[in-house]
Structure 1
Amino acid sequence: MTESFELSKIGLEWGYQGEYGPLNWCSKFPHAAGNAQSPIDIQDKDAVFDQNLTKKPLKFFYDAQNFTTIVNTGSSFKISGLESANSGVVGGAVQDEHKFLQFHMHWGKDGSTGSEHLINGKCFAGELHFVNWNRKKYSNDSDAISTNGHDGLVVLGVLVNVGEHNSEFDKILNCIDDILLRDGAASIKQSLDVKKLFPSDVTSYWTYDGSLTTPPCTQCVKWIVFRECITLSDAQLAKLRQMYICKREDQCCEMFRIKDNFRPVCDLNGRKILKSFN
């Protein structure tokens, strides 16, 4: 029985391996064949320092009400919160103020792989994506996601290395047993201090125009990928791999664990990569 048949059987249109994997996403999601897709391999030697990024530094703020609910999407966990929560991303590469939408993560089957973006060809153990939508140009997040003008979303990418235990991330992991199955949802039990999930230096980053890294892969994103990583322990990363892509316990098996949930890098196709540091 092929994985493609199994994915269809459990109600999924796309996945990360085989017939339903990234190489074939464009058959159902035409935007995935665009020439400004993400992720990419960021070659620092080819990135251009842009002094304008430092004149009005990147700033972002999130209050705790942005992080109240966690859901198993079938491809990752997703954390979101109240519509009325206070948030904002502006400055640096971000022209219009953006409002927080959700954050999620990508990881591998072990600590040697898992990030979507590569830096100078190097893969990391994981990558957090903080997704924010342009509330100045668009009336809602759906419209912002539908655009192909790279002005709908700003995604802050935080690379993850295997290393020291991150106690703040435990507040997420404490909910995993409640969302092992796809569409499982739970409340975040402890208030999340999201600053502890960002690197200490948020002034140094690369930025480029790209896309969503999952279907529909619209080219709506201005990417910001921080140069400095955060760390999670091996045990913390292993906990994420307990989640399933299936909805029912009787469908669950090892092949349906969420792991290697990252898209391979895409061609740069002449796009410029800017950086905020020399």
Structure 2
Amino acid sequence: MFNDISRPPLREAELRSALVDGPLADYSEVRVVEEIGSTNAALLEYATTGDGDRSALIAEFQSAGRGRSGREWTAPAGSQVALSVLIRPGAIHPDLFGWLPLVTGLAVRDALAGSAGLEASLKWPNDVMVEDGAEARKIAGILVEMTTVPAEGVYSMSLPAIVVGVGLNVSLRAEELPVPHATSIDLERAKQGLDPADRLVVAKELLRALAVRHDQWRACERGSGSVISDELYYEYIDACSTVGQDVRVELPGGETKTGNATRIDRSGQLVVDTGEGEEPFVVAAGDVHHVRRGSGY
């Protein structure tokens, strides 16, 4: 599997020491596997068999990795940090669930800054982008999925279990990028004359950042109970490059609309004004493309 000595495998024992057994103990479990179909699919299955809250699964290679809308997500072995985290939200109000992908985007952004010195923005809802002059290149993708599991004890109701998946490009070379508008940490650091990143350091920083942001998300339940906190809301607004942009939105079902992305509402949805005297439309799910005036997208 690891034929490229520049891409050594992650050391599970070191990750566990720092994140499971250490003083912070952010995770109940951290596992590293050499190959798997999909870390998200595996944790969705494990959710029904008793894996604990904050269990993390990292794969060196995914043979059936998935992005949003069922897209394939592939990368050479050892070139990414590809991980999923199981969250058992308990009694957290369902109105907050829609914010989890957006908050996860903030965590990936934090990890890029902390481990690699890279600044990134978020294209709604959670594409993590690195600006390169007039271009923006995708460096990470996020897929959040939910299932339900039977409650234990005398209660028969089902409880939610959420799996947060992240694929962060670390050492992909230009010829290995899946699409022209993708990039990797090492490619971006090379532009600045910096050495390649340490993938183990990136993985630790990403897991820690996810824990911090997910704690903030959970804490919203102790405030209003169903509304995102002002802190997270405005941090996301500041990080989101989509607000103020002309956009083309491909909605589920094949419908397409264009307009100006005026704001993100308190539910995490994108509000787009068509400029044609109609009421602004609200996007809960869909593919958003930033449009350059007069030059397509």
Question: Per the shorter chain, which TM-score range?
Answer: under 0.3
Higher helix share: 2
Higher RCO (C-alpha 8 Å, min separation 6): 1
Q: What's the TM-score once normalised by structure 1's chain length?
A: 0.26
What is the TM-score with the length of structure 2 in the denominator?
0.25
